[in-house]
Structure 1
């Protein structure tokens, strides 16, 4: 059984998943799509492994997708499209790239969640700066979010009540210079934490909290950014069944083999931020000691055995 991990050379989660595959199959293959070559006439998708040797992904038994790029960007869509070729040729891909494509773009993920009635923070999407200004004034405090990002990178908190009209216009124009589509979400009082609720094969695996101690630079207890890139830490959390059910309902339309659903608990009830195909390994390990890589490989091998 030849199984490769699609990931990033040197990245912790990619390496531990490749280690787990190597232990289970006797062959460790970690490929990075940043040097992929799709040869359509030859029916090959060639990627270098950890030793620089070319691997034809179309000739393998399975792929485990951990990461497709070092950072979120539109290029991720192109790389996922290339992964559809081995999937079309009978290589089992965990998770199916056509399914991952539906959530890499924040807008695509949001539209899917809204379509199935999952509770989302009040959100406006527009390319019109005047419409954006109206939304910001209505929300009071809002987060401007790039469509391709993780760990809150590139996001901006805008307090419309604290800015005069000219300052608000400049804030929108500055963000739109980098992000033509304006994705605006009302800032919620997260009370210092939000949750990652994880599922493997549709079954609940565990939940971790991202917690951030309030400080003067982060707007006190209403801190909107709990990401580990901004000082948040992972902590164990045992959610009630209704939160698990909500997260499952959010992840179900995407049909991923492994997924992590970001949930906020607020005074107004729970909200879902997004569904991820890539996060959760480190959070579950740090919070509960769960080795997601081992569980993922065991699941993949069971699926392949039929």
Structure 2
């Protein structure tokens, strides 16, 4: 069985998944960077480093690029074309398109009545100031980002307009989310094929406002209540992803979902539960391809 991995060279999860595919299939290890793929529309073929991607039995998308941006949507369109031509892709390009953009993901979750922190979407500085007056303090989040990159916290006050105007210059559509009291951790709740796999916690270690590993957060094991698992299950079920982690915060007002990950990482799962999520994922894909 010939399976390729769409990922980033040097990325821990991408490299781990590519190694696991090679071990499980006994075939050549192929880690595909989308920046080096050529799609030939007349023939319907796509080429990478001497490979025609249509010759693979399946592709697994681990990462579509090293940094989130709207350009990644175009890379997904290339994969959507191949999928429409019969190539099996995990997770589906359609599914990833719906969660890669933070706004698209949020709208889908809100339509399903998934509890989230109060959020405002606007292109207007004046309307952003109205939201700030209501929230008191908020996190401004770029639509395409991960690990809290590009996010910042703003308090309502005399300097808010200037800060919002500067932010809007780089982010015309502003995603503004009221800050909530997180405590010292939030959760990554993992699902494979829609079935619950495990949960890990990301814990603050240095007073940072977020728990991401980029800001010094550390992983530890965590056993959530059945209600929290069910909430995460409902959230991820809106997107039909083959593998994902749902980010959940535990607050005094109950659990809130932050997002459903387009890709989901393996390291936190392995470090906290000992589960080899890459191996489980490859076995799942191989079974689906039989």
TM-score by length of 1: 0.93
Cα distance in 2, alignment partners of residues 287 and 178 from structure 1: 37
Is contact 2:13–2:265 with CA below 8 Å preserved after alignment?
no
Match of residue 202 from structure 1: 194
Matched pairs, number: 289
Question: Which residue number in structure 2 is paired with residue 180 of structure 1?
Answer: 172
RMSD over aligned Cα, in angstroms? 1.0
Equivalent in the alignment of 1:45: 46
Number of the residue aligned with 1:8: 8
CA contact 2:105–2:259 (8 Å) conserved in 1? yes
1:275, 1:37 → 2: CA distance? Answer: 30
1:253 aligns with 2:249: no
Q: Cα distance, 1:262 vs. partner?
A: 0.3
Aligned to 2:93: 97
The equivalent residue for 2:120 is: 124
Structure 2 runs not aligned, ≥5 long? none
**Partner in structure 2 of residue 50 of structure 1:** none
Say whether 1:191 aligns with 2:192.
no
Task: Provide structure 1 residue ranges, at least 5 long, that are not aligned to the other structure.
Answer: 48-52
1: CA distance, partners of 2:175 / 2:188: 22
- The answer to whether the Cα contact below 8 Å between 1:190 and 1:264 also exists between their aligned partners in 2 is yes
Name the CA distance, whole Å, in 1 between partners of 2:147 and 2:222: 19
Deviation at 1:280?
2.6
Say which structure, 1 or 2, has more relative contact order (CA 8 Å, 6+ apart).
Answer: 2
CA–CA distance in structure 2, aligned partners of residues 297 and 241 of structure 1: 27
- 1:150 aligned counterpart, secondary structure: coil
Give, in whole Å, the separation in 2 of the partners of 1:286 and 1:122.
32
The answer to whether the 8 Å contact 1:45/1:85 transfers is no
8 A contact 1:38–1:45 mirrored in 2: yes
**Mapping 1:74-223, distance limit 5 Å:** 74-160=70-156, 163-164=157-158, 167-213=159-205, 215=207, 218=208, 223=209
Instruction: Tell me the TM-score normalised to structure 2 length.
Output: 0.98
Hey, what's the Cα distance between the residues in 1 that align with 2:289 and 2:51? 20
* Structure 1 stretches of 4+ moved >6 Å: none
Q: For residues 61-112 of structure 1, what are the alpha-carbon distances to aligned partners after superposition, in whole Å with 9 as ceiling and x for unaligned? A: 1001100000101111000110012211211111000111000000000000
